[in-house]
Chains A and B, each alone.
Chain A
Amino acid sequence: MADASRALLPSIEEHDDLANIEKYIAQGGYETLKRVIKEMSPDDVTNVVKEANIKGRGGAGFPAGQKWSMCADRYPRYVLANADESEPGSFKDRKLLEGDPHRVIEGMILTSYALGVNLGYIYMRGEFFHIYDQVEHCLLEAREKGFLGKNILGSDFSLDIYPHPGAGAYICGEETGLIESLEGNRPYPRLKPPFFPAAVGLWGQPTILNNVETFSDVTLILKNGAEWFLKLGTEDTSGTRLIGVSGHVKSPGLYELSPGITLREVIYDVAGGIRGDRQLKAVIPGGISAPVLTPDEIDTTMELGKLGSIGTMGGTGGVIVMDETVSIIDVMLNASNFARHESCGQCTPCREGTPWMNDILRRIHDGDGRIEDIALLLDICVQIHGRTVCPFGMAPAVWPIKTFLIKYYPEIKASIEQKKAVVLPVEQAYLKQDEGYEAMGGPGNFRLKEQVLG
């Protein structure tokens, strides 16, 4: 491997035809599966993944090995790959499925071997037309080679994996929404508890569901060992992170980086800095659901735990960069349009709250805002937060709105007062940390409401 600090993207960059199973095999593909089936017990496999301490790459960052260990002692069990990738700002799973689909499939087979699974599905968002066709073909190839089907490689382990399409609903990315969708029901997320599909999942059976990138990493962990994966990352986040940079940077794109890199380095070194050498105004570090960071907050590393500790999240690694020309109310309205459109409508706070917030933001945007609207928006955030069936009610329905509102309070206030979507100079647009919101408990709370509004 030419570049020892990266693991997922180099092979895709070097070979443009890894979707062809012969090419994948020529690069050592499915060797790991052969070795594992011959030499390792299922429990050994789980233990290696646990040791590697890989945190899930689908947004929540839950340790995969731990999730696997929670599998209820019942059969049949199922494995699902979450390839719904619909989080605005995220485009990594597309790249992996376009460029290196067999690595994802191999990861699913290894997972199934570890957990005694005989049936699995790859749930792909409906708009992935060509990717669906390609993955369907790859699964057939893998079956012809004896990596799927009955008695895989002569063992007593049998497994079928099939592709399954979604049809344009973001909520199908939420794991229990995905399961409901796959079962052929309206994709309403399930009430928790039970908290984990590992206990009660597809058709009521134990189900392991992981993100596409997580499965790709599983293949590499079993190929190169837990130690290797731990060294690739940091103590907080093992392995590499796929970071997709979009928005106002000179070189938008997907980058594979050490989680130890800072957000500042991502923006200014990796992605070439801001277009036209303008000033940075705001950055969302992990897909639109992740709370926004101001220019004062970009010295954080991209470690999942670190981002969580400063009140945002690593999410899906979608870094959305906004320069001095954006109007924050424009951005908020856009995020809120998304939430309004994608709320599944199952529970009242989210179904009623997202359109209400959207209407308020629209009137501020259109010049009809009132100063009380800020308090009203925060109130609605409080009313939705923690009172919904699924995490959509927090992210992306509440977090982006709440954190933009708190951090960029000066510009929102100016937009209301001047009756239009204003663009303040960056220094005046947001609250500096020492000006207040840190002292008020950081971005995670609502106390600012009292502080700012009396």
Chain B
Amino acid sequence: MALAFSPDSQKRAEEILARYPAEHKKAAVVPLLHLAQKEWGYISPDAMSCVADLIEESPVKVAEIATFYPMFNKEPVGRHLINVCHTLPCALAGCSDIVTHISGKLGIGVGDTTEDGRFTLKKIECLAACDRGPVMLVNRELHTHLTPEKIDTIIEGLE
């Protein structure tokens, strides 16, 4: 089944396309993939086709881009995507204990999604907040100076 953006997203897509010279529509591919992911939660082959139509490229071309970037989910993920930074400064600040705590609390390993579809746990590279480590990104929100207690509060606050 062909996917189509909601009217709001369609409007947003046109706004994005207008930022690039008409002969370089392809430049909009990454921002449009972000929009698609916002709309459908992940980038399915149908979502790729939808973006491909907008930039007048083949779906294969879009797939080539979507598969390169770590931020684009190729599979559905949980309602809340937890990305814990594990790069050096956060490692020095104790991020491995944080991963262990979340993993234990949710009963899932890194890369997995809880059975109820609420959470997916991943590791991510440096989030440019190294002075406030350990840090994690939950959906669009950055959480800093993490402790097990802080994590419990954050997780319990999510639907």
Contact = CB atoms under 8 A, between A and B. Distances in A.
B8 interface: no
A169 B68 CA distance: 8
B138 to A, nearest CB: 11
A16 interface: no
A91 interface: yes
A78 to B, nearest CB: 10
Contact of B34 (A91, A165, A246, A334): A165
Interface stretch (A81-89, A307-315, A349-357): A81-89
B125 to A, nearest CB: 6
A386 B7 CA distance: 51
Contact of A338 (B30, B65, B69, B88): B88
Given A89-B89, A322-B92, A338-B125, A169 B131 contact: no
Nearest to A188: B68
Interface stretch (A6-14, A126-134, A147-155, A426-434): A126-134
B87 A338 contact: yes
Contacts of B29: 184
A186 interface: yes
Contacts of A181: 30
Interface string A145-181: 0000000000000001010111111100000000001
Nearest to B20: A162
B126 interface: yes
A330 B34 CA distance: 35
Given A168-B69, A184-B30, A127 B89 contact: no
**What DSSP secondary structure best describes chain A's contact surface?**
mixed
A199 interface: no
B127 A248 contact: no
A203 B71 CA distance: 25
Classify chain A's interface size: 35 or more
Interface residues of B, number: 39
B98 to A, nearest CB: 15
Contact of A334 (B57, B91, B133): B91
A186 B88 contact: no
Interface in B81-128: 86-89, 91-93, 124-128
Contact of A126 (B26, B57, B69): B69
B38 to A, nearest CB: 10
Contacts of A121: 19
Interface in B18-38: 19, 21, 24, 26-31, 33-34
Contacts of A186: 64-65, 68
B157 interface: no
A133 B31 CA distance: 13
A245 B131 contact: yes
Interface in A281-304: 284, 288
Given A162-B19, A184-B29, A247 B64 contact: no
Scoring A129, A130, A245 by chain B CB atoms within 10 A of each residue's CB, the highest score goes to A129
Contact of A247 (B55, B72, B92): B92
A326 interface: yes
Nearest to B28: A184
Contact of B126 (A87, A160, A167, A331): A87
Contacts of B57: 184
A320 B89 contact: yes
A88 B34 contact: no
A166 B72 CA distance: 11
Nearest to B130: A246
Given A127-B127, A169-B69, A88 B88 contact: yes
A255 B124 CA distance: 26
Contacts of B127: 127
A89 B125 CA distance: 11
A91 B129 contact: yes
A283 B86 CA distance: 18
B30 A167 contact: yes
A231 interface: no
Nearest to B139: A129
Contacts of B30: 126, 164-167, 181, 184
A126, A184, A330, A338 pick with most chain B CB within 10 angstroms: A184
A164 B31 contact: yes
Contacts of A322: 92
B130 A248 contact: no
Nearest to B70: A168
A201 interface: no
13 contacts: A86-B126, A125-B128, A127-B71, A166-B30, A167-B72, A184-B26, A184-B65, A252-B130, A252-B132, A284-B88, A326-B92, A334-B86, A334-B88
Interface of B: 19, 21, 24, 26-31, 33-34, 55, 57, 64-65, 68-72, 86-89, 91-93, 124-133, 137, 140
Closest A-B pairs by Cβ, 4 of them:
A184-B26, A167-B69, A168-B71, A246-B130
Given A181-B30, A338-B87, 17 more contacts: A87-B126, A88-B89, A89-B130, A126-B30, A167-B30, A167-B33, A168-B69, A168-B124, A183-B24, A183-B27, A184-B26, A184-B29, A184-B65, A203-B21, A320-B88, A338-B126, A341-B125
